[in-house]
Chain A
């Protein structure tokens, strides 16, 4: 090599430029550090890829047998080896939807209070408390669900029927464990996500927007409803999608209160089953490759569902935080 050997400014004894061979860099440790950390970062790609592969591979049997009709069949008969995902998709969607119906008004309402009305320190303190709800393990929610919520709903049955019984979704026999109970438990579990993110997004709305509305004679509520919330709507919607993604994947609390019955009944009083719950309950009892394959295929379906919802959520939240205004 005829390249003149330049010397680095910081250390005259250390050659720089082209003369720094791989081995020289290796000695300083930079290259080693780079490679090791790169490998660790790459491990995420490896793990995720392997996960998808294993899900796909191990569900080959039912996939080949049922094809896409797996998603539309409502029969779940392990004995006859007839498997359809519809009852579980139904249960998953219904309980998540109910969770949102309860959780969105409660969550956005609380977020409004915490962001617009409460003094800064009280807001921070209450938010801290509410965020702790997210740290409570699912099985604890299940415990409270079985022993407190379900009995409470059972004793409230007459009232519920009196007030809501005119709607078909609140009719039929009620034993406590039901889609309703699961939906209520889920709504509590997703509250902290909706509240925390919505509060942040609302706080980020520029104050001059509020001033403009107030100066026109708008009341505090009108300002919040007409101006602030629309401005923050991307972020709030994102938080809702995030909450939905969590609700879809919740296992323990749901399986402890939902009744675990793979039937599609058009009433919230009826017991039901979700994808996560059936996997949790039946996986260790699954005899035969078709049966366990079907459960793994359900896992694949759940995986796909949550990926999509999470992706939408992320787009909305990062857009909401950065831009805000359409």
Chain B
């Protein structure tokens, strides 16, 4: 596939990643992909201010979807509508539908929705409890795991999925606050995974981390996407290019363009998308 570059050329490393993605996502044709989550004409208001305008898009199962865009474009706001976390803001209002496996989450029981659609936040926020208790909290209150040994197994499984087990297996009952920033974030991922969510929402999970910690989490995303659909908001375009199969570009509360990552970066169909990914504004 010829590469059309009529703007600034991308760095060689990014080009390589794009080709990698191209190969992988060739396999995921429209016929084989299924929509796990879909937004239908979603509008969101903070009081009288409209933060999101008519968003419609799909998040495909077992794929990584990224939301990019400049600060304040609504990508985080939209992410939070996917597990109804935006409801914690007083005076907020949603119009439209968000479907999870065909069921409108806005009409379902909110704690069920949040168990199935997990979230990891920008700054790691472990509870002031032990590492074990942090991970065990979700399964305990949701009643998804019963019995002490089953709980221990689930904690180990979650920590392994988050690539943290080896680092903490000997200090499970120590405070979570003794971990480094990157470890705490992976702990938060393990904690979210412990309730076996079908979708995992990551809200700029690496923005407070150093490059090494960031790389570990990006590897994690690759490993997780088979068992868990992933949606990631990032202000770092290169990160989107590295990890995401699909990318949505947001601007001023609107979804400007949504497509395969390779298309968004190499062959964007909207002028604004092209301007953003080529760095004309940001």
A–B contact at 8 Å CB threshold (below):
yes
Interface residues in chain A, defined as those with a beta carbon under 8 Å from any beta carbon in chain B = 119, 206, 208-219, 222, 226-227, 230-231, 325-326
Chain B residues with Cβ under 8 A from A325's Cβ? Answer: 128, 177
**Cα–Cα distance between A208 and B188 once the two chains are bound (Å):** 12
B128 engages A208 (CB within 8 Å): no
The minimal Cβ–Cβ distance linking A302 to chain B, given in whole angstroms, is 37
Chain A residues with Cβ under 8 A from B88's Cβ? Answer: 210-211, 214
Q: List 23 A-B contacts (CB under 8 A).
A: A119-B90, A208-B125, A210-B88, A211-B125, A212-B121, A212-B126, A214-B85, A214-B88, A215-B83, A215-B85, A215-B118, A215-B121, A215-B192, A216-B138, A216-B142, A216-B195, A217-B114, A217-B115, A217-B141, A219-B111, A230-B128, A325-B177, A326-B128
Chain B: CB-nearest residue to A222: B141
Chain B: CB-nearest residue to A323: B128
B21 within 8 A of A: no
B142 engages A217 (CB within 8 Å): yes
Chain B residues with Cβ under 8 A from A213's Cβ? Answer: 127, 137
**Cα–Cα distance between A208 and B85 once the two chains are bound (Å):** 12
B125 engages A209 (CB within 8 Å): yes
Q: Mark B126-147, 1 if CB is under 8 A from A, else 0.
A: 1110000000011001100000
Chain A: CB-nearest residue to B137: A216
Chain A residues with Cβ under 8 A from B85's Cβ? Answer: 211, 214-215
Interface residues in chain B, defined as those with a beta carbon under 8 Å from any beta carbon in chain A = 83, 85, 88, 90, 111-115, 118-119, 121, 123, 125-128, 137-138, 141-142, 175, 177, 188, 191-192, 195
**Cα–Cα distance between A218 and B118 once the two chains are bound (Å):** 12
From A215, A218, A226, A231, give the contact of B119 (CB < 8 A).
Answer: A215
Chain B residues with Cβ under 8 A from A326's Cβ? Answer: 128, 175
Question: Contacts A211-B88, A325-B177 known; A216 to B115 CB distance under 8 Å?
Answer: yes
**Cα–Cα distance between A214 and B201 once the two chains are bound (Å):** 14
From A119, A206, A209, A215, give the contact of B114 (CB < 8 A).
Answer: A215
From B127, B138, B188, give the contact of A217 (CB < 8 A).
Answer: B138
Chain A residues with Cβ under 8 A from B192's Cβ? Answer: 215-216
Chain A residues with Cβ under 8 A from B141's Cβ? Answer: 216-218, 222, 226
Chain A: CB-nearest residue to B175: A326
**Cα–Cα distance between A206 and B121 once the two chains are bound (Å):** 14
**Cα–Cα distance between A219 and B138 once the two chains are bound (Å):** 11
**Cα–Cα distance between A89 and B138 once the two chains are bound (Å):** 47
**Cα–Cα distance between A167 and B161 once the two chains are bound (Å):** 54
The minimal Cβ–Cβ distance linking A35 to chain B, given in whole angstroms, is 48
Chain B residues with Cβ under 8 A from A226's Cβ? Answer: 137, 141
B125 engages A217 (CB within 8 Å): no
* Max chain A Cβ within 10 angstroms of own Cβ: one of B90, B141, B191, B192: B141
Chain B: CB-nearest residue to A230: B128
4 nearest A-B pairs in the assembled complex, by CB-CB distance: A217-B115, A325-B128, A208-B125, A215-B119
A212 engages B114 (CB within 8 Å): no
**Cα–Cα distance between A82 and B138 once the two chains are bound (Å):** 63
The minimal Cβ–Cβ distance linking B165 to chain A, given in whole angstroms, is 20
B128 engages A231 (CB within 8 Å): yes
**Cα–Cα distance between A274 and B119 once the two chains are bound (Å):** 55
Chain A residues with Cβ under 8 A from B175's Cβ? Answer: 326
B121 engages A211 (CB within 8 Å): yes
Chain A: CB-nearest residue to B144: A217
Known pairs A215-B192, A226-B137; list 5 more (Cβ under 8 Å).
A209-B125, A214-B88, A215-B85, A217-B142, A217-B195
**Cα–Cα distance between A119 and B90 once the two chains are bound (Å):** 8
